[in-house]
Amino acid sequence: MRLNYIAGAGGSVVLDGQSIGRGGEGQIMPVSGSGTLVAKIFHQPTLERWWKVWLIMGKPAPPANGHCPVAWPVECLFTHEAKPQFAGYLMPRIAAAQPVFMYYTHDLRLIRCPAFTYAYLVRAARNLSAAVGMVHGRGFAIGDLNESNILVREDALVTLIDSDSWQVRDTERGITYRCPVGKGEFIPPELQGRNLADVDRCPHHDHFALAVLIWKLLGEGCHPFDGVFHGGGDPPPLEARIVSGVLPWRDRSGLWSPKPGAVFFGLLHPVLQDLFYRAFSAGHREPRLRPDAAAWQDGLRRAEADLQTCPRNPRHRHWGTRCVWCERTTLLGGIDPFPAGSSQPAQRGTSPGRNGRRNGTAGKQAVPVPQVAAAAAATAPPATPQPLVQLLNDIHGLCRQASARLTKHPFMVLGTAAILILIVEAAAFLIVSFLRSAGRLPQP
């Protein structure tokens, strides 16, 4: 069955009528006679949705350069009636791509795309940052940024979809068309529990979701606030942990520890450790301190240039002298997240190398240039010697614990002691903050 619609610029558009994708708000249908366009037809189209799409179309689409980083609306579609009604819109067709969780979940990755190495996950995170930056640069907030509206190809190229759900501001009329939905695990602490239909989203809200997604890409799908609870009773839900700022990989209370299968935070590149600290710790106190998309692009570029190759398995790429993937293979009882000799059906899987060069096996097709041009890698700042890092953080942690206990005591003497402890703590915190801001102190 074929369906006829009227395009906003005039003329008729014929859809094949067979859905190739369906969600809660609409379905995706191919355009007859076109291999490059698809249509999104809404189940219940609204005037607000029409205005959103129209306003997005008023801004220039990001440059494609052979790949579409954002599925930007091309034309509005209307019913073929005496009084045409808004029905949906045309957008580019994204072929040979899968949702991002197919790549960061190692069970799914081994089945669907076994040649997708860790270097590819780093590159995909970098390309995701670029796509988010393109949306923000045009004045929009994504709002519901999650693993379902991000598509990734086998060459690590990324596309953002579902642009009609973004928050869009009509500056001429002074109206904001909000994004009323969101997934709890990607909602920042300051918005947890709020009615999102009443909230004006800002880029720093998206920056929280972006950091969560990058953490998942680099950490085998684990959530940064997920861990093992050692307290009494049931562990608090993930959303409550996000609100309280509990990070298992930084917790000193003894109530939390990282999951045994989680990738060890200390083995990440120092630049990435600092970015994650700013996103989830400093950004918890002040949301505007979260790294933006450009900061993640730069940090991931520097980290990608410093990836090392394991001598035992060339498909193991890691930072530092320890191969986290060899250790993880032992932890998983011999299941290698990036097994040697894997190849993708299309024979496209080669691994981005240092400074943008690619290390591939003879006979495999070269991977196209990704969204982010591979520039010369900047040298990462030298890390502060680990003993000093441990000493400063231990002093900071002990002072915090001592002050927390003493300030609850009713006696004036202990209150005075608490003040002295707070002064020492502040000094230690300033030293740590200065070294972190200078890029010379990795986070534990």
Chain-centre distance of CA 197, in angstroms? 23
Tell me, yes or no, whether 422 and 290 share the same domain: no
Q: Each residue of 277-319: pLDDT tens digit? A: 999 999 999 999 999 999 999 999 999 999 999 999 999 999 9
Tell me, yes or no, whether 58 and 116 share the same domain: no
User: Into how many domains does the chain fold?
Assistant: 3
Domain C-terminal end among 72, 95, 118: 95
Q: What pLDDT does 156 receive?
A: 95
Q: Which residue has the higher pLDDT, 104 or 425?
A: 104
**Alpha carbons 222 and 337: distance in angstroms, whole number:** 14
Q: What pLDDT does 296 receive?
A: 98
Average pLDDT for the chain: 82
Tell me, yes or no, whether 57 and 37 share the same domain: yes
**Alpha carbons 402 and 394: distance in angstroms, whole number:** 12
3-state secondary structure of 231: coil
- Domain for residue 270, yes or no? yes
**Alpha carbons 228 and 349: distance in angstroms, whole number:** 35
**Amino acid found at 226:** D
Percent of the chain with pLDDT over 90: 63
Mean pLDDT in residue range 31-39 = 92
- Domain for residue 104, yes or no? yes
- Structural domain including 226 reads 96-380
Tell me, yes or no, whether 254 and 376 share the same domain: yes
> Confidence class of residue 16 from pLDDT cuts 50, 70 and 90?
confident
Tell me, yes or no, whether 8 and 47 share the same domain: yes
Q: Tell whether the model's pLDDT for residue 390 goes beyond 70.
A: no
- Domain for residue 301, yes or no? yes
- Domain for residue 72, yes or no? yes
- Domain for residue 442, yes or no? no
**Alpha carbons 269 and 48: distance in angstroms, whole number:** 44
Q: Tell whether the model's pLDDT for residue 365 goes beyond 80.
A: no
Q: Which residue has the higher pLDDT, 266 or 405?
A: 266
**CATH code: domain of residue 176:** 1.10.510.10
Tell me, yes or no, whether 43 and 122 share the same domain: no
Mean pLDDT in residue range 398-427 = 52
**Joined tokens for residue 203:** 């880029």
> Confidence class of residue 357 from pLDDT cuts 50, 70 and 90?
very low
**Top-ranked range on mean pLDDT: pick from 193-202, 327-336, 429-438:** 193-202
> Confidence class of residue 420 from pLDDT cuts 50, 70 and 90?
low
Tell me, yes or no, whether 273 and 219 share the same domain: yes
> Confidence class of residue 354 from pLDDT cuts 50, 70 and 90?
very low
Q: What pLDDT does 253 receive?
A: 86
Q: Which residue has the higher pLDDT, 16 or 430?
A: 16
**CATH code: domain of residue 69:** 3.30.200.20
Other beta carbons within 10 angstroms of residue 73's beta carbon come to: 23
Tell me, yes or no, whether 108 and 87 share the same domain: no
Q: Tell whether the model's pLDDT for residue 377 goes beyond 70.
A: no
Q: What pLDDT does 385 receive?
A: 32
Q: What pLDDT does 424 receive?
A: 60
Of 151-165, 328-342, 355-369, the range with the lowest mean pLDDT is: 355-369
**Alpha carbons 340 and 358: distance in angstroms, whole number:** 17
Q: What pLDDT does 419 receive?
A: 65
- Domain for residue 129, yes or no? yes
Domain C-terminal end among 340, 364, 380: 380
**Alpha carbons 147 and 136: distance in angstroms, whole number:** 18
Tell me, yes or no, whether 117 and 205 share the same domain: yes
Percent of the chain with pLDDT over 70: 76
384-401 burial, b at 16+ Cβ within 10 Å, e below that, comes to: beeeebeebbebbbebbe
Tell me, yes or no, whether 66 and 108 share the same domain: no
* All residues at 6 or more sequence positions from 320 whose CB lies less than 8 Å from its CB, including other chains: 267, 308
- Domain for residue 336, yes or no? yes
Tell me, yes or no, whether 355 and 391 share the same domain: no
> Confidence class of residue 263 from pLDDT cuts 50, 70 and 90?
confident
Q: Tell whether the model's pLDDT for residue 17 goes beyond 90.
A: no
3-state helix vs strand vs coil in the chain, percent to 5 = 40, 15, 45
Q: Give whole-number Cα distances, 110 to 116, 213, 257, 286, in Å.
A: 9, 20, 27, 39
> Confidence class of residue 402 from pLDDT cuts 50, 70 and 90?
very low
> Confidence class of residue 25 from pLDDT cuts 50, 70 and 90?
confident
Q: What pLDDT does 391 receive?
A: 43
- Domain for residue 45, yes or no? yes
HSE at residue 139, side-chain half, CA atoms within 13 A, is: 13
Domain C-terminal end among 95, 122, 157: 95
Q: Tell whether the model's pLDDT for residue 368 goes beyond 60.
A: no
- Work out the angle at residue 100's Cα, subtended by the Cα atoms of residues 98 and 105, and round it to the nearest 5 degrees: 110
Could you tell me the maximum CA-CA distance found in the chain, to the nearest angstrom?
84
Q: Each residue of 119-177: pLDDT tens digit? A: 999 999 999 999 999 999 999 999 999 999 999 999 999 999 999 999 999 999 999 99
Q: What pLDDT does 369 receive?
A: 34
Tell me, yes or no, whether 415 and 269 share the same domain: no
Mean pLDDT in residue range 33-57 = 94
Q: Each residue of 182-239: pLDDT tens digit? A: 999 999 999 999 999 999 999 999 999 999 999 999 999 999 999 999 998 999 999 9
Q: What pLDDT does 100 receive?
A: 97
